[in-house]
């Protein structure tokens, strides 16, 4: 088995050097060119003190340069930490403050945000050093190196010093306390899923596959590393296409994609705007989704128009690496109300449903879904207490003894055929447009606003593109405070996808008998008053 992720790039460069590896807009790069760029970047990282035990930030959108940086970081033995350029600088500074990267690699489009990040970090201590990956540094800028240097620097000529058990990357997700949590994903977990998925779904050299998810979203791991492992041609999907379903559908046609993988919300969006024709996308042979429930009406509509395509549902949290279960929908669901299961465990994975008392549930009995096996990550960065609560030792009673499982917080049951069915969340975590969001992080940001006397956040299912609508009930501190002012204030504190879509001003928030905010009544009110 491959030991570290970057080894795939070296293997493809040796075996198919002139094949196209990545297509980004009008730009293409071969496997040999990608490997050369990654080796040079790895050399630069090493010369600036990088190596095992050091993290490197990556403040960039999807691009050829960003993927070369990921491969180069792996070659240097350094886990990379994707940083979303759309996130406000204070949130990025909290992430950087937690993982303390030696360098932050920056795309030139994100340079202004990088300077804001440095300013935020400097308030509490030393800021990380910046380096540009795709262009010359601005005049007078203090950088470790820039794009031209990354192209001409002497290449590293040794294998990665990292081991299979070492962290490959750290993905920060929404945290209920307002501080994002960093999931530490080892090389072995990504490799185990990629090798299983590529076999299971028939990935082959030269196959044209989508690269839809952003780098800070765990689905991108299969997009990128799966394509490198199989020698596929990865076509990066520009984020702006998500706002125009007709152009997104045309992208699939123009690129003649053979495999599509994304959150289902963008697929629902294309159905909603009726941009998928009968027997469209003739080269597309497999469509996969993950990250949230695909509304059955939209799935039925898409399956009826694309009878030549195989539709597969994947399920799994970041803590268990990309996906842990799968189910291929063999026939169009009979009715809009029919649910689609999350299916059976992926190769090397294990699904277990526990009752509230921690004992294994019987077939058909609903409880908390737990996941064990090859996909388990190393827990949360620098947070042993949270790790210990989420990653628990359980004896399923199958004769194999006690072993580690991740408690997902999802409710599910496993039927008599061994197929798992999802029943929602146990807590206040939601999925919206594929993003995992802790409502508590939004409330923490709201509580910091002087404009509010009191506030609470709930989510209501929409059954459409968003998955859930984030709703805020609030008591303004002044009569002139409204949603416009609150959105503006929040935009500097949390990412755009966390900002509530619906607002309700009240004289006082409803309370339960013990004085707590009555979130159930707020949720019911927002559901009654759906726009």
Round to whole Å and give the CA distance between 32 and 303.
Answer: 38
Q: What is the DSSP string of 167-202?
A: EEEEEEE--TTSS-EEEEEEHHHHHHHHHHHHHHTT
pLDDT at 71 over 70: yes
Q: Which residue has the higher pLDDT, 335 or 503?
A: 503
Residues 54 and 193 in one domain: yes
Using DSSP's 3-state secondary structure scheme, residue 372 falls into strand
Establish if 309 belongs to a structural domain.
no
Task: Give the pLDDT of residue 435.
Answer: 82
142 and 113, same structural domain?
Answer: yes
For the segment 214-255, what is each residue's pLDDT rounded down to a tens digit? 999 999 999 999 999 999 999 999 999 988 999 999 999 999
Tens-digit pLDDT profile for residues 39-66: 999 999 999 989 998 999 999 999 999 9
Does residue 23 form part of some domain?
Answer: yes
Looking at the domain assignment, is residue 250 inside a domain?
no
69 and 32, same domain (yes or no): yes
Same-domain pairing of 21 and 128: yes
The pLDDT, as a whole number, for residue 337 is: 80
Using a 10 angstrom Cβ sphere, with 0-12 exposed, 13-18 middle and 19 or more buried, the burial of residue 372 is buried
CATH number at residue 170: 3.40.50.980
Look up residue 71 and give its two tokens.
């491969």
Do 416 and 479 sit in the same domain of this protein? no
Mean pLDDT of the region 296-321: 96
Give percent above pLDDT 90 in the chain: 81
Which of 177, 211, 245 is the last residue in one of the domains? 211
Q: Based on the domain organization, do 375 and 444 belong to the same domain?
A: no
Distance (Å, whole) CA 160 – CA 261: 29
Of the residues 405, 425, 445, the one at which a domain ends? 425
Same domain, yes or no, for 52 and 188?
Answer: yes
CATH number for the domain harbouring residue 492: 3.30.300.30
Last residue of some domain: 211, 243, 264? 211
Q: Is the pLDDT of residue 514 over 60?
A: no
Q: Kindly report, residue by residue over 477-490, the tens digit of the pLDDT.
A: 899 999 999 999 99
Q: Residue 338 domain-assigned?
A: no
**Pair (421, 456) in one structural domain:** no
- Work out the percent of the chain whose per-residue pLDDT is above 70: 98
Specify whether 75 is located in the same domain as 140.
yes
Q: What local confidence, expressed as pLDDT, does residue 245 receive?
A: 93
Q: How many residues does the chain have?
A: 531
Residue 92 within a domain: yes
Q: Give me the mean pLDDT over the 418-442 stretch.
A: 84
Instruction: Indicate whether 290 belongs to any domain.
Output: no
Residues 406 and 510 grouped into a single domain = no
- The tens digit of pLDDT for each residue in 92-132 reads 999 999 999 989 999 999 999 999 999 999 998 889 999 99
Secondary structure, 3-state, 252-277: HHHCCCCEEEECHHHHHHHHHCCCCC
Same domain, residue pair 421 and 484: no
Q: The dihedral of CA 413, 416, 417, 418: what is its sign?
A: positive
pLDDT value of position 515: 61
pLDDT score for 34: 98
163 shares a domain with 54: yes
Residue 313 in any domain: the answer is no
Report the CATH number that the domain containing residue 397 is assigned in CATH.
Answer: 2.30.38.10
Whether 337 maps to a domain, the answer reads no
Number of domains present in the structure of the chain: 3
Distances (CA, A) of 113 to 84, 97, 126, 373: 10, 16, 17, 39
Cα–Cα distances in angstroms (integers) from residue 270 to residues 18, 198, 243, 265, in the given order? 35, 27, 10, 9
Enclosing domain of residue 485: 429-528
> Which residue's entry shows tokens 């409330």?
443
């Amino acid at each position: 088995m491959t030991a570290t992720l970057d080894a795939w790039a070296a293997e493809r460069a040796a075996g198919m050097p002139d094949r196209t590896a990545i297509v980004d807009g009008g730009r293409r790069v071969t496997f040999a060119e990608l490997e050369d760029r990654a080796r040079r970047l790895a050399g630069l990282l090493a010369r600036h003190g990088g190596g095992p035990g050091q993290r490197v930030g990556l403040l960039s959108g999807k691009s050829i340069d960003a993927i070369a940086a990921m491969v180069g970081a792996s070659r240097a033995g350094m886990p990379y930490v994707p940083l979303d350029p759309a996130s406000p600088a204070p949130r990025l500074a909290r992430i950087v403050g937690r993982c303390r990267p030696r360098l932050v690699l920056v795309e030139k489009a994100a340079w202004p945000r990088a300077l804001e990040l440095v300013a935020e970090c400097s308030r509490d201590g030393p800021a990380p050093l910046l380096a540009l990956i795709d262009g010359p540094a601005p005049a007078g800028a203090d950088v470790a190196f820039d794009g031209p240097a990354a192209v001409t620097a002497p290449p590293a000529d040794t294998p990665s010093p990292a081991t299979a058990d070492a962290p490959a990357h750290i993905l920060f997700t929404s945290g209920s306390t307002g501080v994002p949590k960093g999931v530490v994903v080892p090389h072995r977990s990504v490799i185990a899923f990629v090798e299983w998925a590529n076999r299971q779904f028939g990935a082959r050299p030269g196959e044209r596959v989508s690269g839809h998810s952003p780098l800070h979203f765990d689905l991108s791991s299969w997009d990128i590393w799966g394509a490198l492992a199989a020698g596929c041609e990865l076509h990066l999907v520009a984020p702006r296409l998500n706002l125009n379903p007709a152009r997104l559908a045309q992208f699939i046609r123009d690129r003649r994609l053979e495999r599509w993988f994304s959150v289902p919300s963008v697929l629902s969006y294309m159905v909603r705007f009726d941009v998928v024709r009968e027997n469209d996308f003739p080269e597309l042979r497999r469509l996969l989704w993950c990250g949230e429930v695909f509304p059955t009406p939209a799935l039925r509509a898409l399956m009826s128009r694309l009878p030549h395509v195989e539709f597969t549902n994947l399920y799994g949290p970041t803590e268990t690496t990309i996906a842990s279960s799968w189910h291929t929908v063999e026939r169009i669901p009979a009715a809009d109300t029919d649910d689609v299961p999350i299916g059976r465990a992926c190769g090397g994975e294990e699904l277990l449903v526990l009752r509230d008392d921690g004992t294994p549930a019987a077939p058909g009995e609903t409880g908390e879904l737990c996941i064990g096996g090859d996909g388990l990550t190393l827990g949360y960065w620098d947070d042993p207490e949270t790790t210990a609560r989420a990653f628990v030792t359980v004896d399923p009673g199958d004769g194999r003894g006690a072993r580690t499982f991740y408690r997902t917080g999802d409710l599910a049951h496993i039927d008599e055929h061994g197929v798992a069915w999802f029943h929602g969340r146990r807590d206040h975590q939601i999925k919206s447009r594929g993003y995992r969001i802790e409502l508590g992080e939004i409330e923490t940001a709201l509580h910091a606003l002087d404009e509010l006397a009191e506030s609470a956040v709930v989510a209501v299912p929409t059954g459409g593109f968003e998955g859930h609508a984030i709703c805020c009930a609030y008591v303004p501190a002044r009569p002139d405070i409204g949603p416009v002012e609150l959105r503006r204030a929040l935009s500097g504190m949390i990412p755009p996808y966390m900002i509530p879509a619906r607002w309700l001003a009240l004289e006082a928030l409803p309370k339960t008998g013990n004085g707590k905010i009555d979130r159930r009544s707020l949720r019911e009110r927002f559901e009654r008053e759906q726009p």
